[in-house]
Chains A and B, each alone.
Chain A
Amino acid sequence: MKKTVTAVALLCALSSTAIAPTFAADDDEAARLKAIEEYRKQIADGNPSDLLAMEGEELWRTPYGPKNQSLEQCDLGLGPGVVKGAAAKLPRYFPDTGKVEDLESRLMTCMERLQGVERQKVIDSPWRKGEKLRMDKIVAYIVTESNGEKIDVDMSHPKMKEMYELGKRMFFYRTGPFDFSCATCHGKDGQRIRLQELPNLTKHEGAAAGWGSWPAYRVSNSQFWTMQMRLNDCFRQQRTAEPIYGSDATIALSVYMAANGNGGVMLTPGIKR
C-alpha cells in the first residue's frame, strides 16, 4: 500500500492537472467516501489492466497448444472470432456444449477444442501462473472489448433460469465457521468492510455496479483478478470449501449477479484500490 501512495504522489508532482490527494481525517462518512472516490479517479486513468489486455490480444491471435492453433475461431456467443461486446452477454447458454458457460469456462472450452489444451491443466494451474496467467491476460483483452457495453444476459433459456435459481440459493446459503452467506455482506444497502463500500447484489443498482466492475486490477496488491478469482476469494473469506475453477457453482453465482445487473453498464476491466 505504501508503494502505491508513493507512486500516486509522484504522479501528482509531475502532472499539472492532478488534484492533490485528500486524506480526510474527519469522521464524516460522506467526506471519506468522496476522498476514496477521488483516489479512484486518479488511478483509473492508468489502469494497468491495459498492459494485460495488450498481451492478451497477442495470445488470442497466437497459435498455441498441442494443435498449434490460435483462439481466433473461438465462439464467445456472438459467432466465431467475435470479441467486441461478447463479455457483456456472458454467462449464456451454449447449444454446442449444452451448458451455461461464463467467460473463463467458455475460454477453457475453446482452448480444449481449438488448441487441444486440456481443461484440467487450466483448472490445476496455480493462480496468476502458467495457464491461469495466460487466461488472465486473455480475459483482460476480452472484457476490455466490452467496456461501456450494456450488461445484456439472455435469460430466456430454461437452463439459464435453472442456473439463476441455483445461484440465488448459493447466494443465501449460510456456511462455514462464521455461518456466513454472500447475502450477509452483500444483501443490504449501505454495508461496508473497512473503507470499502459493499454493493447490495440482490438489487439492480448494486448488482450492476458489482458485476459491471469485475474483472479488475487491484492497485493495493498489483494483481489482476478475473471473476473466477474474485468468487474464489469470496468463498475463502467465508472460510468455506473453495469452489473448483469454472465449476457450475461459480457460474450459477455469476448468472445470479449478471441477471440482477442486466441493463447496467460494463466498466471492465475495473480498477480497485
Chain B
Amino acid sequence: MAGPMRIRAQVNGDEVNVRALMAHPMETGFRKDSSGNPIPAHYITEVIASVNGKTVLTAEWSGAISTNPYFEFDVKAKKGDKITLKWIDNKGESKEETVEVK
C-alpha cells in the first residue's frame, strides 16, 4: 500500500515553488535481507506533475533515488491553481495528490 505524500506549494512572484515528500521504500533490488535473500526492487519509475490538469513535468526515476524522496521544482502558476503530483513505481502502484496554491 502506498504511503502518504506531502505537497507544499508557495507563490513566489509569477512562479510557484513546489516541494513534495513521497513515502516510498525505493529498494534498488541489489540489497539483501538479514538471511541473505535479495530484496526485490521496488522504486518509483515516473513522476508526473500537472497544473490544472495540464502536464508540466515528467521525470524518469530509478533505484538510485533515496528512500522517501524529496522533490522540488518551480513552475509558472498562480494562486488558486491546482497542482497535482503523481508517481508510478515498477510494481505498477501509484499515488496521486493534489494541492491548491494558496
A and B part of one assembly = yes
What residues of chain A have their CB less than 8 Å away from a CB belonging to chain B?
3-4, 6-7, 10-11, 14-18, 43, 45-48, 50-51, 54-55, 219, 222
Q: Which residues of A contact B66 (CB under 8 A)?
A: 3-4, 6-7, 219, 222
Residues of B with Cβ closer than 8 Å to A?
A: 3-6, 17, 19, 21-23, 26, 28, 64-74
Q: How far is the CA of A55 from the CA of B21 in the complex (A)?
A: 13
Q: Which residue among A4, A11, A16, A47 has the maximum number of chain B CB atoms within 10 Å of its CB?
A: A11
Q: Which residues from chain A contact B22 at a C-beta distance below 8 Å? A: 51
| Least distance between B69 CB and chain A CB atoms (Å) | 6
Closest residue of A by beta carbon distance from B26:
A3
Given A14-B72, A46-B19: A51 in contact with B3 (beta carbons within 8 A): yes
Specify the chain A residue showing the minimal Cβ separation from B12: A17
What is the distance, in angstroms, from B65's C-beta to the closest C-beta of chain A?
5
Could you list 15 examples of A-B contacts with CB < 8 Å? A3-B26, A3-B65, A6-B64, A7-B66, A14-B73, A15-B73, A17-B17, A43-B70, A46-B72, A48-B21, A48-B68, A54-B4, A219-B66, A222-B67, A222-B68
Q: Closest 10 A-B residue pairs measured CB to CB?
A: A46-B70, A222-B67, A48-B68, A7-B66, A51-B23, A15-B72, A54-B4, A3-B66, A6-B64, A4-B66
* Chain B nearest CB, measured from A214 CB (Å): 19
Contacts of A54 in B (CB 8 A): 4, 6
Whether A7 contacts B21 in the complex (CB less than 8 A), given A51-B4, A54-B6, A55-B4, comes out as: no
